Amino acid sequence: MEIERKYLIDVLPSNLEDYPFHRIEQAYLCTAPVIRIRRQDDDYILTYKGKGMMIREEYNLPLTAEAYAHLLSKADGNILTKKRYLIPLTHELKIELDLFEGKFAGLQMAEVEFPDEESANAFTPPDWFGREVTYDPAYHNSNMSQCR
């Protein structure tokens, strides 16, 4: 189960270079249900996501580089690329800050994943977070992959 809230970011933290990051490329084989392939640095993953906005099923399976390349050629729509910074928030929570590249260059979005719905609903975002887009389907990566 994935429980997360998403926010647009207008102003980046000044010490961003202090945090680790991943290079991510992802594409979608299907958007209903969501079936995604992702290259994260040197790892390759196939993901299924169920319906939902803040809470939904999520299953990940490893792929080989060869399988990823084969499936990438079958993907629909835009291939999304981004740099994802991992920023600790509390001892339980971290911010995944995505700086999009390519077609969506300039888009900056933060996600925070939670252990349960209660903590997600009680969350107060840091001051540098902008507008919440958890319930705005336009900011689901699967929908972004279908934008012309």
Span 100-115, average pLDDT: 98
| pLDDT value at residue 99 | 98
**139: Cα separation from own chain's centroid:** 10
pTM of the model: 0.95
CA pair distance 117, 113, nearest whole angstrom: 10
Residues serving a catalytic function are: 28
| pLDDT value at residue 121 | 97
Q: Is the pLDDT of residue 148 over 90?
A: no
